[in-house]
Amino acid sequence: MFLFSVVQWSGVWYGKYKYPDWAECIGWILALSSMMWILGVAVYKLAKQRGTIVERLRQLTRPSKEVMRAIAKRENLSGFREYDSL
């Protein structure tokens, strides 16, 4: 969504008034200051994992065994074999 927003960007207008470029720049900095953390943490975690890129992505996109145990306990799923083995 962010990429499409950047591609289709035409400036900020309020009626016929166009906001100055410096104001738009400050707005972009504010928006990117929160979004860059997400990208930064994702790159950091990918770099710290071991294995191929596919293995790294697989490890990072699955919940940990502790989280799965907690969910199984909370939802009363202890009867399911797939959660008992975790």
Whether residue 74 is found in the same domain as residue 43: no
Identify the CA nearest to 66 among candidates 81, 80, 39, 86: 86
CA gap 67, 62 in Å, rounded: 10
Question: In terms of domains, do 40 and 11 share one?
Answer: yes
The answer to whether 69 touches 83, Cβ cutoff 8 Å, is: yes
Tens digit of pLDDT for each residue in 69-86? 888 888 887 655 554 554
Segment 10-22, tens digit of pLDDT: 888 899 999 999 9
Query: Do both 56 and 33 map to the same domain?
Result: no
- Structural domain containing residue 66: 50-86
Residues 44, 62: one domain?
Answer: no
Type of residue at 14: Y
Please give the model's pTM, rounded to 2 decimal places.
0.56
Q: 39 with 68, same domain?
A: no
35-71 residue pLDDT tens: 999 999 999 999 999 999 999 998 888 888 888 888 8
